[in-house]
């Protein structure tokens, strides 16, 4: 009785262990490979494209481009930030929120913590301008 039990169970137990081992390895393939972070790349593209569009636009008052004008001074930022905000709103798809940061302040929406975002920084004569975008 004791013998019979022992003899019968060994190969079955081995097979069971083998199956568990194989599925453990398979699980690392099925679940363990993290999905590539595709949102990040797309968001970076959005930010870069927006920056390119804004860099190519003529300013209203002075300087070379709209971004330079925005970064110039606190007064210029106060004057221009609403216009920059509206322009970004027009450019970006509705499901994308944005903010634009200069040395003199931040325009646009407040970025929630922990949300993946894309950003691009454009150096201008008066300091860096950073555009950040994220999905609503």
- Binding residues (CB under 8 A) for another protein: these are 3-4, 7-8, 11-12, 14-15, 18-19, 22-23, 25-26, 29-30, 33, 36, 38, 41-42, 45-46, 49-50, 52-53, 56, 90-93
CA distance 71 to 104: 7
Nearer to another protein (CB atom), residue 44 or residue 103: 44
Nearer to another protein (CB atom), residue 7 or residue 75: 7
* Token representation of residue 79: 């004057």
CB 77 within 8 A of CB 100: no
Which residues, 6 or more positions from 68, have their beta carbon under 8 angstroms from its beta carbon? 59, 124, 125, 126
CB of 15: closest distance to another protein in angstroms?
A: 3
CB of 73: closest distance to another protein in angstroms?
A: 28
Nearer to another protein (CB atom), residue 26 or residue 60: 26
CA distance 129 to 134: 17
């Amino acid at each position: 009785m004791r013998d019979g039990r022992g003899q019968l169970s060994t190969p079955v137990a081995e097979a069971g262990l083998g199956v568990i081992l194989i599925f453990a390895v398979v699980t690392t393939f099925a679940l363990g490979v993290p999905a590539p972070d595709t949102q990040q790349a797309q968001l970076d593209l959005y930010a870069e494209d927006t920056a390119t569009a804004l860099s190519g636009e003529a300013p209203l008052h002075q300087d070379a481009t709209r971004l330079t004008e925005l970064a110039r001074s606190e007064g210029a930022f106060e004057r221009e930030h609403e216009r920059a905000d509206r322009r970004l709103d027009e450019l970006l798809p509705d499901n994308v929120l944005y903010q634009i940061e200069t040395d003199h302040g931040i325009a646009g929406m407040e970025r929630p913590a922990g949300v993946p975002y894309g950003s691009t920084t454009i150096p201008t004569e008066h300091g860096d301008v950073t555009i950040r975008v994220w999905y609503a």
